[in-house]
Amino acid sequence: MDRETDLDILARTELFRALPREALDEVRRSSSRKRVGKGDVLFHQDEPVSTLYIVVVGRLRALQTTAEGNQVIIRYLGPGEIAGYAALDDSATYPGTVAAVDDSHVIGLSKGAIRRLLERFPQVALNALSVLGNRYRETQLRLRELSTESVERRLARTILRLGSQAGRRTAHGIEIAFPLSRQDLAEMAGTTLHTVSRTLSGWEKDGLVMSGRRRVILCRPEALTVIAETAP
Amino acid sequence: MDRETDLDILARTELFRALPREALDEVRRSSSRKRVGKGDVLFHQDEPVSTLYIVVVGRLRALQTTAEGNQVIIRYLGPGEIAGYAALDDSATYPGTVAAVDDSHVIGLSKGAIRRLLERFPQVALNALSVLGNRYRETQLRLRELSTESVERRLARTILRLGSQAGRRTAHGIEIAFPLSRQDLAEMAGTTLHTVSRTLSGWEKDGLVMSGRRRVILCRPEALTVIAETAP
DNA sequence: CGGCTACTTGACCAGATTCAACTCTTGTGG
DNA sequence: CCACAAGAGTTGAATCTGGTCAAGTAGCCG
């Protein structure tokens, strides 16, 4: 593990930005790197909370499963973001499951280490508040969309969002840079894979997107934005 | 303003519990009480953040309005809870509007005062994390319900939740202790006032609830729980 | 009272889910 | 290396939940 690099990486994460050098050193000392392969689970819903993870490279996703077995994707996590926020507010169990959707690297910190950092360095706590505040607002927004907007609109918003947080420029447009099935999109937009498939087929015919097996490319994002912002 | 009483009240709020006496004094010094009449607005969506409020008595509600003018009720706030969490994570504008649904008393603290408290007393920051964490989880749960459950189920959950957080025992059952219209329920459950009206009428016929103009009484909560937990 | 707001209910309609059948990829093991 | 099973996607048809439209009633306040 390269010490210099690790400090640089930590300094750029949402949780440990703007820390004094001393604090950053302390973080590094209490953390450990870990590789997670595609599909590997970091922790399961309802398991006791032990660790907070920081994504270094790759992409993970947080999802929740209902009593009936339905899944809802809470969010995708990329470099610099945290997985396991339950360790921040000292809640007993993880509210969801986090698994890698691509080979990834994470840094793990024990619940105890996080507590110590929060109490000792106010900036860590302020950063943590900002992380939770942002996620809370993000979820409120989705709630609002889900209550008031059509499936097509929600789906347009969903892929635009994914494009902006994990998009890669290609010859045909912005490609969402991790495997993403119809089912995944359905679990994010609150619909079924059938409706997603039909909608994407329609958009593909109009040249708005290109999509295939677990792949989505946004060819005309502006046109999708129009859909995302047009009632009904 | 009674100083002793105020300290006691503060010590029982979600944000200022478990503080050392010194911190509590500091909070009291930087805070000021305020009355808000039924219908009065504490702050508006998109307004710059200036103040964080703590509910002392009464009931407020937080809601968001979409570009098309649809409203979504984020939550109702009762004694001990905070309004204006945006002041905690230093975000620029309020994400929603908060207004009183009954005559209420609140304690206000300026954004600056909150910042100082957060930096100086780690326990305040830990409490704040727990507040935001709980709200985030609560919203995730609603998101999950909205994506996967029928209107009837969501409505049952909604009134059960309101009953448990603001219920008052009466001769006929648990009455939700503040004015609550069909429209309000619709904006919480993600549906229309028509569907709410039809559903409540049905339940009333079966003796599960009694309801009238802005009033709801849960006569048979157990039966509602069954509805809330039965697919589809 | 008169007017406003809340509520109710019927009729109709449509967006979206469900059911079902089929195709296309991919990757695994014989 | 090929075969074939499993996974992913497509699409039509039927269905239905819940929203929209419309019209009217009941309760409340000035």
Task: Identify all chain B residues contacting A137, using CB atoms and an 8 Å cutoff.
Answer: 91, 95
**Is A3-146's fold the same as A149-229's?**
no
Of residues A72, A88, A133, nearest to B85 (C-beta): A133
Pick among 1.10.10.10, 3.30.70.2740, 3.40.1180.10, 3.30.565.10: CATH of B149-229: 1.10.10.10
pLDDT tens readout for residues B184-230: 999 999 999 999 999 999 999 999 999 999 999 999 999 999 999 99
pLDDT tens readout for residues A77-123: 999 999 999 999 999 999 999 999 999 999 999 999 999 999 999 99
User: How is A60-128 classified by DSSP, letter by letter?
Assistant: EEEEEE-TTS-EEEEEEE-TT-EE-GGGTTT-SB-SSEEEESS-EEEEEEEHHHHHHHHHH-HHHHHHH
Cβ under 8 Å to A: B residues 120-179 = 120, 122, 125-126, 128-130, 132-137, 139-140, 142-144, 146-148
Of residues A140, A190, A231, nearest to B74 (C-beta): A140
Which residues have CB under 7 A from strand C?
Answer: A 150-152, 190-192, 194-195, 198, 213, 232; B 181-183, 193-194, 197-198, 200-201, 204, 211-215, 232
Domains in chain A: boundaries:
3-146, 149-229
The enclosing H or E element of A33 equals strand A31-36
Number of A/B CB contacts below 8 angstroms equals 136
Cis-peptide, bond into residue B20, ω within 30° of zero: no
CA distance A185 to chain B (A): 12
Q: Determine the pLDDT at residue B232.
A: 77
Nucleotide nearest B149, from its CA to each C1':
D17
Between CA B108 and CA B114 the distance in angstroms is 10
Residue from B91, B148, B153 whose CB has the most chain A CBs within 10 Å, to mutate: B148
Question: Taking the C1' atom of C26, which residue's CA lies nearest?
Answer: A213
CATH T-level topology, domain B3-146: Jelly Rolls (2.60.120)
Average pLDDT of chain A? 96
Between CA A44 and CA B162 the distance in angstroms is 30
Cβ under 8 Å to B: A residues 59-98 = 64, 66-68, 70, 72, 74, 85-86, 88-91, 95-96
Nearest CA in chain B to A85: B133
pLDDT tens readout for residues A140-180: 999 999 999 999 999 999 999 999 999 999 999 999 999 99
Residue B6: pLDDT band with limits 50, 70, 90? confident
Between CA A49 and CA A84 the distance in angstroms is 8
Q: What is the DSSP letter of B101?
A: S
**Is A72 buried (19+), middle (13-18) or exposed (0-12) by CB count in 10 A?**
buried
Average pLDDT of chain B? 96
What are the start-end ranges of the E strands in chain B? 31-36, 41-43, 51-57, 60-65, 71-77, 82-83, 97-100, 104-110, 167-170, 173-176, 209-212, 215-218
- Helices A21-30, A3-11: inter-axial angle, 10-degree rounding: 110
Nucleotide nearest B232, from its CA to each C1':
D17
CA distance A151 to chain B (A): 11
Which residues have CB under 7 A from strand D?
Answer: A 181-183, 193-194, 197-198, 200-201, 204, 211-214, 232; B 150-152, 190-192, 194-195, 212-213
Q: Are B124 and A118 in contact (CB under 8 A)?
A: no
* pLDDT of A2 above 60: no
A213-to-A166, A167, A192, A217, B128 alpha-carbon distances in Å: 18, 17, 17, 11, 43
Average of pLDDT values for B156-184?
97
Task: Identify all chain B residues contacting A98, using CB atoms and an 8 Å cutoff.
Answer: none
Q: Determine the pLDDT at residue A3.
A: 53
Q: What is the pTM of this model?
A: 0.96
pLDDT tens readout for residues B48-62: 999 999 999 999 999
Contacts of B46 (CB under 8 A, 6+ apart): B93, B94
pLDDT tens readout for residues B95-145: 999 999 999 999 999 999 999 999 999 999 999 999 999 999 999 999 999
* pLDDT of A194 above 80: yes
